[in-house]
Amino acid sequence: MLYSEKKERENRFVIALKIAFPLLLLIAIFFYAFSLFPDTSLNLFLLIIFIPIYVYYTVYLIYHSFQTSLIDSVTKTFTCNEILSKIKKVKNKKSMIILLHVNNLEDINERYGIINGNSVLQELMKELALFLEEHHFKNTPIGRYNHNTFLLILDASLEELNHLLTIFTKRIQTKGLHNIEVILSFSSLEAHYDTNPSHTIERLFMLIDKSQTNEKALPDIQLNTFKKSLNSAFLNDGILFKYQPSLHVKEQKIALVEVLTRIYTDAHGLFTKQHIQPIINRMGLERALDKMIFTALAEKIKPLLQQKLFISIEISPVTLRNSKFKHHLVSLFKEKNLDPHSFILEIVEEKSYEQMHRFKEIIESYKEMGFKIALGNFGGNNCGFEYLKCLPIDLIKFDIEFTKKIEDVKYQKLLKSYIDLAKTLQVQSMVKFVDKESTLALIQACEPDFIQGFCISKPKSIKELSDEIR
């Protein structure tokens, strides 16, 4: 039995006592009154008064107990609120918070059904509790934070926990549960990392994201001060830009420039937007950051616009779908007298947006204003093909994998086929990260519209780029 189930039993027992004790008291009062006044209507009066009150009280307690259950109905672990409450109450400085993530739960639910997915989660928690008990961790608080994430509180060193959880995750991934493959990942952090548990959990999510590298670049970042750091960077001209030219293959001239954004803060130094994007996403600051970037860029970009170049800049799809940001962008471009026809908004999204029809309408509204839309990392591990199929896209930028493996004949054929497909759809294409002459020749043979990389030009400042084009 899980520790959470034991605590829930205790909770239910306390509620039962709260129901039973007033009943015993009511019976005692009734018999006492009956012994004093056996032939009066006082007893009837007491019954009429106290029994409805007691019934209401009992119904309320039962209803309230269901509303305030300590455990999740599926996994029998603590609810999100309960485990967060326990994290807040942790006093032992040696305590660690562990986040356990089921990476493929959505795939399990889709392939085997939600009922089987729930069974897997329930069995997983039993296996975890048993494993911890085998290693002398009894009565471990385990709670379900969201549908595929669990939180644990353990008193142990970071090295010991990482060792044990590595063993556990590998064991589960090797044997599976109910003949279903289960892929796990975990992260751990001191319980007193931050006074706000939500910041601790956000940090745990960032640590667990294998696709990000920001934990190496920003190991000591404090989420509660990060937003202030971004605001400070914006106010102190800490949002910096480099511009990487792209060659128009047919015209053999620089026709497009990609904006590379870097951010400098006193607390964390200099880092790229890509490094902090996972942090931004977790904190819900996509729109705030993009607003800062576009506002800062609008002050500096005019010299390049005079060269009649297309300006490509990455923007979060979440920001693009936000109506308030669109109003801000319209006002900004009008105020700075910028022509939207010169700008390409690049989006990258791992999973496709569910309301595709709405997204299409939003994209079309930007295109009506004059903006072009690009898909980044096309052909990589994202929803690029789905968006190409459903959205009015102007440009696709191929994933770096195509450039790295271009010497493989298979990748040459794939790249050529995708480029030809894009042309039939009247969509332009770009291949990036072309740094070798041998790679450049193979890429040119595939006939993309644009090529970018050190073979073409390194990132430059506005002055360097303007001088070069002249």
Of residues 246 and 61, more confidently modeled: 246
Query: Higher confidence at residue 281 or residue 86?
Result: 86
Determine which of 13-22, 37-46, 260-269, 346-355 has the lowest per-residue pLDDT on average: 37-46
- The mean per-residue pLDDT over the stretch 439-455 comes to 95
Q: Which pLDDT score, from 0 to 100, does residue 219 have?
A: 44
Write out the DSSP string of 164-233.
Answer: HHHHHHHHHHHH-BTTB---EEEEEEETTS-SSHHHHHHHHHHHH-TT--HHHHSTT--HHHHHHHHHHH
pLDDT (0 to 100) of residue 408: 95
Confirm if 78 and 25 have CB atoms less than 8 A apart: no
Contact 287, 320 (CB under 8 A): no
- Class for the domain spanning 220-469: alpha beta
pLDDT value of position 284: 80
258 DSSP β-pair partners: 244, 312
Q: Give percent of the chain with pLDDT exceeding 90.
A: 51
Question: pLDDT at position 361, please?
Answer: 96
Any idea where the domains of the chain sit in the sequence?
3-67, 80-210, 220-469
Distance CA 341, CA 338 (A): 9
Query: What is the Cα–Cα distance from 388 to 352, expressed in whole angstroms?
Result: 11
At residue 67 the predicted structure's pLDDT band, cuts being 50, 70 and 90, is low
Is residue 273 classed as helix, strand or coil in its secondary structure? helix
Nearest-Å Rg of the Cα atoms of the chain is 30
Helix count and strand count (H, E) for the chain: 20, 13
Mean pLDDT of 279-305: 87
**Secondary structure class of 88 (helix, strand, coil):** helix
Band of the pLDDT at 68, cuts 50, 70, 90?
A: low
Interhelix angle for 114-134 vs 158-175, to 10°?
140
| Pairing outcome for strands 450-452 and 428-431 | parallel
pLDDT tens, residue by residue, 306-326:
888 999 999 999 999 999 999
pLDDT reported for residue 212 = 41
Q: pLDDT tens, 39-54?
A: 666 666 766 777 787 7
Name residue 401's beta-bridge partners: none
The CATH number of domain 80-210, selected from 3.90.420.10, 3.30.70.270, 3.40.50.1110, 3.40.50.300: 3.30.70.270
What residue type is assigned to position 203 of the chain?
R
Q: What is the pTM of this model?
A: 0.68
Neighbour-count burial of 172, counting CB atoms closer than 10 A to its CB (0-12 exposed, 13-18 middle, 19+ buried): buried
Whether residue 412 has pLDDT greater than 90 = yes
